[in-house]
Amino acid sequence: MAEIPESHPRRNSLLSRQKLVDAQKKGMLADSALIAHGRGEAFDYLLGERSALGAVNAVKEVVSRLNAAKNPVISVNGNTVALAIEELLLLANKIGCPIEVNIYYRTPERMNALLSHIESVRASLGIDVQILGSEPDGLIPNLEGPRAKCCSQGILNADAILVPLEDGDRCEALINMGKEVYVVDLNPLSRTARMATICIVDEISRAAKMMLNLDDNDLEVNPNFDANSSRESVLEEMLNALKRN
Ligand code: PTJ
């Protein structure tokens, strides 16, 4: 890829695109991954590619809850691995939870590509995080097809699950299992965003960096956290950007 000047206003966005193109070449992504990313970019454009206050507050609450959970797990798909696996591995290490590869468009080739990439990043970081997904031994109830497959040591028995860029059906099925489901989705209007216990309306690489950089002293669960207000406040920022023309 051509060198992008540090001063380029859309530098981060261009770097993210390149990460996805590279991951696509390694066979890690769904065919529609770049389309999904493009939808996210449209919302991010309205945010000025910056994290809104509602997202900052949601990040703090989500990490506090993951930290306090009995069996937390971080579930990753193709796009998430391409954009934020290093930060999420470090977060899992900090929280002491596994990472599970759980993809919507599941094929053995993609699972292998994702698992071996995560394993090599884990090894280069020199951390000890359990990586699940290669041998699913459970099913998410009321979901058809391979997307229901999951691991009993991870998603199946988790009480709290961080699952960026989740699909609406699976989010609903996980909620119906009685879990706390925290998602990251730039579209504040998606079914996933509205259904999750908490939606961080932000770009996954920025959200993952924020999660990792939180001070331990700032972690405190707020049982009255208003997830709807936090989501709507980011939507409001997007609407204001449109009104400003
Ligand atoms: O790896 P797989 O097989 O699990 O497939 C992953 C994708 C993302 C292709 C699949 O889950 C999918 O098709 O997702 P959707 O239904 O298109 O939803 C993706 C959501 O993520 C949309 O609401 C986008 O706005 C949002 N999104 C896209 N890129 C980002 C994002 N949110 C945060 N950060 C991003 N970088």
Residue owning the nearest CA to atom 25 of ligand 1: 40
The pLDDT tens digits for 198-216 are 999 999 999 999 999 999 9
- Residue 72 bridge partners (DSSP): 160
- Cα-Cα end-to-end distance for the chain: 32
The pLDDT tens digits for 79-112 are 999 999 999 999 999 999 999 999 999 999 999 9
The H or E element containing residue 228 is helix 227-244
Ligand 1 and 30: CB distance under 6 A: yes
Give, for ligand 1, the residue of 165, 171, 195, 209 to mutate: max count of ligand atoms closer than 8 Å to Cβ.
165
What confidence score (pLDDT) does residue 145 get?
87
Q: Cα separation of 139 and 203, whole Å? A: 29
Q: How far is the CA of 33 from the centre of ligand 1 (A)?
A: 7
Share of the chain above pLDDT 70, in %: 99
Q: Is the pLDDT of residue 126 over 90?
A: yes
What confidence score (pLDDT) does residue 57 get?
97
Q: Is the pLDDT of residue 2 over 80?
A: no
What single letter denotes the amino acid at residue 153?
Answer: Q
What confidence score (pLDDT) does residue 54 get?
98
What confidence score (pLDDT) does residue 3 get?
80
Q: Is the pLDDT of residue 1 over 90?
A: no
Residue owning the nearest CA to atom 21 of ligand 1: 165
Q: How far is the CA of 97 from the centre of ligand 1 (A)?
A: 23
Q: Cα separation of 6 and 124, whole Å? A: 26
> Cβ(72)–Cβ(158) under 8 Å?
yes
What confidence score (pLDDT) does residue 17 get?
95
Q: Angle at CA 51, nearest 5°, toward 8 and 80? A: 85
Model confidence pTM above 0.75: yes
- Whole-number Cα distances in Å, 203 to 54, 146, 182, 213: 13, 27, 14, 16
Strand, coil or helix: 94: helix
Ligand 1 and 105: CB distance under 6 A: yes
Q: What is the mean pLDDT of residues 124-147?
A: 95
Q: Cα separation of 13 and 1, whole Å? A: 14
- Tell which residue, 138, 153, 113, 154, has the closest CA to residue 30: 113
What confidence score (pLDDT) does residue 8 get?
83
The pLDDT tens digits for 20-29 are 999 999 999 9
